[in-house]
Structure 1
Amino acid sequence: MKTGVKPSRRRWLIILIVLIIAALILWRYLTPAPVQWKTVDVAQRTLEQNVMATGKLDAVRKVDVGAQVSGQLQSLYVEIGDTVKKEQLLAEIDPQQAQNQVKESEGTLRELNAQLAQARAQYQLSRATASRKQELARRQAVSRQDLDEANTDVAVRLAAIDTIEAQIARNKATLGTAKTNLDYTRIVAPMDGVVTQITTLQGQTVIAAQQAPNILTLADLDTMLVKAQVSEADVIHLRPGQKAWFTVLGDPNTRYEGTLKDIQPTPEKINDAIFYYARFEVPNPKHLLRLDMTAQVHIMLDSVADALVIPLSALGDQISDNRYHIALLEDGKPVMREVTIGIRNNIDVQLISGVKKGDKVIPGYGAAEAE
């Protein structure tokens, strides 16, 4: 006797299995998958409101060292990058011409002193002669004309002394100028600093007829000056005394901090845009900062410690000036919440009310989606 499933029953079993599989497939496609919401957490940290600008670094003290006399630059004792001290000898201009002027003035002065001695001797003689003739005139031994001639000779000799003394005074001044010009052939450092530029090379001739030609430039790199270009829209918010900091391209993780010194009143026009220079100083003891480096500047307008912060892009619809809607994810569903905001910058915004630390905000979800 044969046992087993009859063909009709087997057929119905296969049909049942197919229907169950089809139902499962249909249920899978018809049942919506749970929504995976992209969220950001409400963080608690310090938030700064800054004006951002691009700036250039310069030295607080920078001096162009020039020549005050003409001549050939005979010796140059420094190179670019050298550190020098005040009164250190930097260069020398050929001193021959200045030395000759000193010698010529000294010779003229000796000649005038000799003439003065001679004039004084002649004056003494003329006085003695006039005195004798005056005595003789009282006894009528000489004529009145002889006495007048003797007195005139005394006055002439005295005038000659005055003339020579004036020439001596003038030549002393000339000698002083010649000695000063000789000193000017030695170019010394007016301050401590670093040689940042050499304009005139050894062997070149400098001409100081109209203006002092520049030999080299010294800069004190111990303190740097930051000149930030601030737009006219932002400059109205700036005041001296505000905190400022910057980073440089080569080291974006290091902040160099200072205090806003001033805002220059005269603007600069760049491609029809108006900018003002906001300046502040920073110490540079290791000379890591260099001239003309580009600085990414932040000038602090306001700062809040332990602020509840979300990205600015996570704000929803605006209700009023400081009131917004945001969407929070609660139990897997978006819930609209009204919040009050505080300070903001270009990236983040402070939430004063309506949320707590750790709440999950759904960016880009507005009131329209919630309806």
Structure 2
Amino acid sequence: MMSGTAAPLVSQAIGRGDIEKTVLATGILKPSAQVNVGAQVNGQLKKLYVRAGDRVTKGQLLAEIDPTLQQSELRKSEAELDSAVAQKQASLYTLTQYQLELKRQLQMDRDGSGTKSNLEQAQAKVDTQKAQIKVNEAQIVQAQMALETAKANLGYTRILAPVDGQVLGIVTKEGQTVVSSQTAPTILVLANVDTMTVQTRISETDILKVHPGQPLWFYVVADPKHRYQSVMGTLQDAPNDALQDESTSSQTQQPSAVYYNGVFSVPNPDHLLRTSMTAQVFIITEQAKNVLRLPVMALGQPLGDDRYQVQVVNGDKTEQRVIRAGINDRQFVEVKDGLREGEHVVMMQNEAETANG
């Protein structure tokens, strides 16, 4: 059907391009691995061998605590072990003496010249001394364990890197005294920033559209022009509020907004991505590559079953056309049937605005 129009038309040629249907989420960047390196012994932080931003390897010396207390404890433990060994040796000498006495009493008992009480007393001394040797042996074991602990504590004054990584920050400064009681005080924080993880908050209205393995892209607010590509990793089946202890959770039955956590990783070889950066994440739920696409503003009356009316420019007139639409990203809609590349369509919203004006 042909129809004319007196109002100026705003039209656009139909072309090809990509269409992506996405779910928008906000994310926070974290290192793929982060370790708080602490002190297991008391003392003054004598020396720091690294600074914030330094890269370190596993086993590298990071810091040193004044070892004076631990060295004194080690010497004390060594002395206690020497004393325990000497006590056992003295007990062995005494046992030998008691055994000789017992041997004489047994000989006298066989000859009939001894007394029963002396024999019993000699036997009791030997038995008691054997028990004393067992006590001395236990004391040696205790002293050896104390010595091993003292050696370990002395080793703990040299703080080594538990993993490869980068020093995110120094918590304890040189000269400060650290006290390790129930928890190990943190000296510095190490992290693997070669790979970053992004923890996203996905709204409950979108969570059923998202699943692991979906492609996505994101940018950080510090550099909106740079796109990073990745795929969705794991999805949390319950929001954080539902995982909290009931005594600490909100008194309301349902929070005003429910978000589920999704986590994915992204390589960070140049270390441009930093801890706690905010990311705008676009999770691609549907996409079509190099398809015929139509501006959404050109869509006319919906006819059901993904069919719409559009106005196609034909010379100085327009004609009504029915198209079958596909993916819609709110800017463009995929045209599966009803239009050809290069045809011009009328931008319906602009025409309506002109008529209303």
Task: Please report the TM-score for the alignment, with normalisation by the length of structure 1.
Answer: 0.86
In structure 2, what is the equivalent of residue 6 of structure 1? Answer: none
Identity rate, percent? 38
Q: Secondary structure at the match of 1:190?
A: coil
Q: 1:310 aligns with which of 266, 278, 294?
A: 294
- C-alpha spacing 1:161/1:365, structure 2 compared with 1 (3 Å): closer
Structure 1: gaps of 5 or more residues: 1-32
For residue 251 of structure 1, report the CA deviation from its aligned partner.
Answer: 3.6
In structure 1, what is the equivalent of residue 249 of structure 2? Answer: none
In structure 1, what is the equivalent of residue 226 of structure 2? Answer: 254
Contact 1:327 1:366 in 2 (8 A): no
Pairing 1:283–2:267 present: yes
Structure 2: gaps of 5 or more residues: 242-254
Q: Secondary structure at the match of 2:59?
A: coil
Q: Whole-Å Cα distance in 1 between the matches of residues 348 and 197 of structure 2?
A: 43
- C-alpha spacing 1:358/1:102, structure 2 compared with 1 (3 Å): same
For residue 109 of structure 1, report the CA deviation from its aligned partner.
Answer: 0.7
For residue 232 of structure 1, report the CA deviation from its aligned partner.
Answer: 1.0
Q: 1:164 aligns with which of 109, 127, 136?
A: 136
For residue 250 of structure 1, report the CA deviation from its aligned partner.
Answer: 4.0
In structure 2, what is the equivalent of residue 144 of structure 1? Answer: 116
Q: Whole-Å Cα distance in 1 between the matches of residues 337 and 95 of structure 2?
A: 106
Pairing 1:234–2:206 present: yes
In structure 1, what is the equivalent of residue 104 of structure 2? Answer: 132
Q: Whole-Å Cα distance in 1 between the matches of residues 350 and 186 of structure 2?
A: 66
Residue deviations 1:159-178 (CA, integer Å, cap 9, x gap): 11001111111111111111
Structure with greater Cα Rg: 1
In structure 2, what is the equivalent of residue 224 of structure 1? Answer: 196
For residue 289 of structure 1, report the CA deviation from its aligned partner.
Answer: 1.4
In structure 2, what is the equivalent of residue 52 of structure 1? Answer: 24
- C-alpha spacing 1:170/1:346, structure 2 compared with 1 (3 Å): farther
Q: 1:173 aligns with which of 122, 145, 154?
A: 145
Q: Whole-Å Cα distance in 2 between the matches of residues 55 and 238 of structure 1?
A: 15
For residue 318 of structure 1, report the CA deviation from its aligned partner.
Answer: 1.4
Contact 1:83 1:195 in 2 (8 A): yes
For residue 218 of structure 1, report the CA deviation from its aligned partner.
Answer: 0.6
Task: Please report the TM-score for the alignment, with normalisation by the length of structure 2.
Answer: 0.89
Pairing 1:208–2:192 present: no
Contact 1:327 1:365 in 2 (8 A): no
Q: 1:331 aligns with which of 295, 315, 324?
A: 315
The one-letter code sitting in structure 1 at the alignment partner of 2:62 is L
For residue 267 of structure 1, report the CA deviation from its aligned partner.
Answer: 2.0
The one-letter code sitting in structure 1 at the alignment partner of 2:302 is Q
Q: 1:320 aligns with which of 290, 301, 304?
A: 304
Residue deviations 1:161-203 (CA, integer Å, cap 9, x gap): 0011111111111111111111111111111111112111111
In structure 2, what is the equivalent of residue 78 of structure 1? Answer: 50
Q: Secondary structure at the match of 1:233?
A: coil
Q: State the superposition RMSD in angstroms.
A: 2.3
For residue 83 of structure 1, report the CA deviation from its aligned partner.
Answer: 1.0
Q: Whole-Å Cα distance in 1 between the matches of residues 223 and 57 of structure 2?
A: 30
The one-letter code sitting in structure 2 at the alignment partner of 1:217 is V
For residue 346 of structure 1, report the CA deviation from its aligned partner.
Answer: 3.4
In structure 1, what is the equivalent of residue 337 of structure 2? Answer: 353
In structure 2, what is the equivalent of residue 121 of structure 1? Answer: 93
- C-alpha spacing 1:366/1:108, structure 2 compared with 1 (3 Å): closer
Q: Whole-Å Cα distance in 1 between the matches of residues 52 and 351 of structure 2?
A: 65
The one-letter code sitting in structure 2 at the alignment partner of 1:83 is R
